[in-house]
Structure 1
Amino acid sequence: MITLKTIAPGLLTAAAAALLAWLAHLALPAVPLLTAAVALGIVVGQVPALRQALGRRLAPGLGFAARSLLRAGIVLLGLKLSLVDIAGLGWVTIATTVAVVVLTFVGTIGLGRALGLPGHQPVLVASGFSICGASAIGAMGAAVRARHEEQAVPVALVTLCGTLAIAVLPALWHPLGLSATQFGHWVGAGVHDVGQVVATAQIAGTAALAVAVVVKLTRVLMLAPMVAITAAVERRRAADVAGPRPAIVPLFVVGFLVAVLVNTFVPLPDWVLTGADVVQTALLAMALFALGASIRVAALVRTGWRALVVGLTSWVLVAVLAYGAVLLG
């Protein structure tokens, strides 16, 4: 039974880690806060002296953060999205952005299954690389009821590749002959986490950043249908298996869509949106620290080479498809 007493130590630890990640982001603005939170969790998870606490006293609170706080953060993420802003991109950009998400998702699942990734790992890796990084992995993991251990490898991979993108994509900006706004479009369509998009696109100026954020949030909007469709497929597969089946549409996905509609049609004051953004970032930072803390790098080195191949291939695939989308736009 979950009680405040049992989850408090883990929640306080996750909150302290989120604060440290925020301080790291302030000291090094190029490092997105959520990326710092995942990285800090990964580092903590490798310290032998801390593993007993992570597996016992802190486990209930960290599990609550990785599950419930993540879902709450994703609901609040919807308040960043406005259908009006997305419509302003034009139908060509919207269509190509959706195509990039779907093709990367399907292609990554196919490659993951071909290489024999276990359990839900193919769909989790596909979610992270095609939609919105570690947040999408957590959302998809919750929808298909994946174990935290299954989410560990995809989270590590998408964090690694998203961090590399912050350095690699700007280096390719001018050699590829892209304008500033085209670069912003490429970043928004090809980089995983929202924070990583901001860190990468701001190099090209405010116009590029504005385009990148709207394109990226269009990909984030795809989280709802992709999770709902995948959950429906999993539900059908589980029809003949004993035990509870995944929800047809997870409740937090419904909340995410409601938040999008509220932000689109209800004139919310700036202080509400600002406060929701702070809370959402804090919740996701705590959740992603908890997911990162479950990762064991030694185990990844021994068994994760197939996942590494899938992740790197997916990273290249989404970047190439996003580049093609820019040229079409």
Structure 2
Amino acid sequence: MLTRPSSGARLIALLPGVALSALVALAAFGLQKLELALVGFAWIEALVLAILLGAAIRIFWSPSDRWMPGVRFSAKTLLEVAVALLGATVSGAAVAALGPWLLLAIMGVVVVAIVAGYAIGRAFGLPHAMALLVACGNAICGNSAIAAIAPTIEAEGEDVAAAIGFTAVLGIAVVLLVPVVGSLLGYDATGVGVLAGLTVYAVPQVLAAAAPAGAVAIQTGAVVKLVRVLMLGPVTLVLGLMHARSAQKGEAKTGKKLKLMQLVPWFIMVFLVLMGLRSLGMIPEVVLVPLDHAVTLMTVVAMAGLGLMVDPRAVAKAGPRVAAVAAISALMIGGFAVAAITLLGLG
């Protein structure tokens, strides 16, 4: 008779892979600090560096069964915990200052960009999951959106790696283009801030893109970007429900029923609860900074684990199509942003 391993034994089995993922993550943080020291800005964030380093290791060495339990735990469970805790770092308090029309415009751009981006991806022959990841990454917040949505739709590691890699490179190009486009179109500080907030992926990159236009542009861009980040919760919830519905149709053939935790992933429920508590002021401000650091650390370790699970050959094979879809989607979002700014008279 077979016996199940004890909790202690399972924990011990996870340690080698988790430690390996953590070491890759530390190397990624080290490279990010080196970027800061050399050029004053991290053009490639630790999150991206972690997945690239992990994938690079896989070119020369494939982890054995001793390492894989912990690597899989880092790439999946640790990532889910990070997404759940992310809810405590976002609040609706600053959103009201934007006004209802700009709020509606931001939400409209995100939704239309996801739908159109997904359609473009499918038209280029990308698989369902990869097309969805690229679309959501461009529309919401780049790497963080891809990392958060991947476990919800059960995306493969190769899809996640390709989506993150190409949107990361594209994100740098968008940062450089925003001040140029803003200047060519004659935007004032508010217009540049809205343009940066609607098109740039990461919050630090939004600040960098808006900085040439001054403090007002930086503040406006940060708040607009916050609204895009807040869209991550509802979008992930909807995609999770849609994915669960497809799974439920398959389960119906066998007479099984999906439970609530399968319809709505546990980490999304925790995310929404924590976001609500933060908005109500029930989470002390003193815990927010360390919590944000913890979320960042767990996400980078998870990306390192994901990189260690990736076959770089599969990513390279999908490269040209993913790059084309990401670029076309980014240009499309830029067009939506310019149209919104014009219609609202914010330029």
Q: Which TM-score applies when normalising by structure 2?
A: 0.84
- Could you tell me how far apart the structure 2 residues matched to 1:56 and 1:180 are? 55
- Could you tell me how far apart the structure 2 residues matched to 1:56 and 1:207 are? 53
After TM superposition, list the pairs within 5 Å mapping 1:1-329 onto structure 2: 3-27=10-34, 28=36, 29-31=40-42, 35-47=45-57, 50-53=60-63, 56-242=65-251, 247-266=262-281, 268-327=283-342, 328=344, 329=346
Kindly indicate whether the alpha-carbon contact (under 8 Å) linking 1:65 and 1:286 is maintained by their aligned counterparts in 2: yes
> Deviation per CA, 1:53-112, whole angstroms, max 9, x where unpaired?
3x6443322322221222222222222322121111111111110011001100011111
SS of the equivalent of 1:304 reads helix
- Could you tell me how far apart the structure 1 residues matched to 2:157 and 2:59 are? 21
> Deviation per CA, 1:281-316, whole angstroms, max 9, x where unpaired?
111121223334444554333333222221111111
> Deviation per CA, 1:237-274, whole angstroms, max 9, x where unpaired?
23332488683222211211122111111254432111
Post-superposition shift, 1:190? 0.9
> Deviation per CA, 1:21-67, whole angstroms, max 9, x where unpaired?
3343344142167x2332243144224664323x6443322322221
- Could you tell me how far apart the structure 1 residues matched to 2:225 and 2:116 are? 20
Structure 2 unmatched runs, 5+ = none
Task: Say if 1:79 and 1:236 are closer, same or farther in 2 by CA, change over 3 A.
Answer: closer
Which stretch of the first structure deviates more once superposed, 239-248 or 300-309?
239-248
- Could you tell me how far apart the structure 1 residues matched to 2:212 and 2:61 are? 39
- % identical aligned pairs: 30
Amino acid at match of 1:254: M
Kindly indicate whether the alpha-carbon contact (under 8 Å) linking 2:207 and 2:221 is maintained by their aligned counterparts in 1: yes
Task: Say if 1:74 and 1:202 are closer, same or farther in 2 by CA, change over 3 A.
Answer: farther
- Could you tell me how far apart the structure 2 residues matched to 1:115 and 1:122 are? 9
Amino acid at match of 1:59: M
Kindly indicate whether the alpha-carbon contact (under 8 Å) linking 1:228 and 1:248 is maintained by their aligned counterparts in 2: no
Alpha-carbon RMSD across the aligned residues, in angstroms, is 2.6
Task: Say if 1:315 and 1:62 are closer, same or farther in 2 by CA, change over 3 A.
Answer: farther
Task: Say if 1:188 and 1:294 are closer, same or farther in 2 by CA, change over 3 A.
Answer: farther
Kindly indicate whether the alpha-carbon contact (under 8 Å) linking 2:14 and 2:73 is maintained by their aligned counterparts in 1: yes
SS of the equivalent of 2:263 reads coil
Task: Say if 1:36 and 1:314 are closer, same or farther in 2 by CA, change over 3 A.
Answer: same
Q: Which TM-score applies when normalising by structure 1?
A: 0.88
Which stretch of the first structure deviates more once superposed, 122-131 or 203-212?
203-212
Kindly indicate whether the alpha-carbon contact (under 8 Å) linking 2:133 and 2:149 is maintained by their aligned counterparts in 1: yes
- Could you tell me how far apart the structure 1 residues matched to 2:317 and 2:75 are? 25
Task: Say if 1:324 and 1:43 are closer, same or farther in 2 by CA, change over 3 A.
Answer: same
Amino acid at match of 2:335: V
Kindly indicate whether the alpha-carbon contact (under 8 Å) linking 2:161 and 2:315 is maintained by their aligned counterparts in 1: no
Task: Say if 1:268 and 1:224 are closer, same or farther in 2 by CA, change over 3 A.
Answer: closer
Task: Say if 1:176 and 1:51 are closer, same or farther in 2 by CA, change over 3 A.
Answer: farther
Task: Say if 1:32 and 1:81 are closer, same or farther in 2 by CA, change over 3 A.
Answer: farther
Task: Say if 1:284 and 1:197 are closer, same or farther in 2 by CA, change over 3 A.
Answer: farther
Post-superposition shift, 1:137? 1.6
Structure 1 unmatched runs, 5+ = none
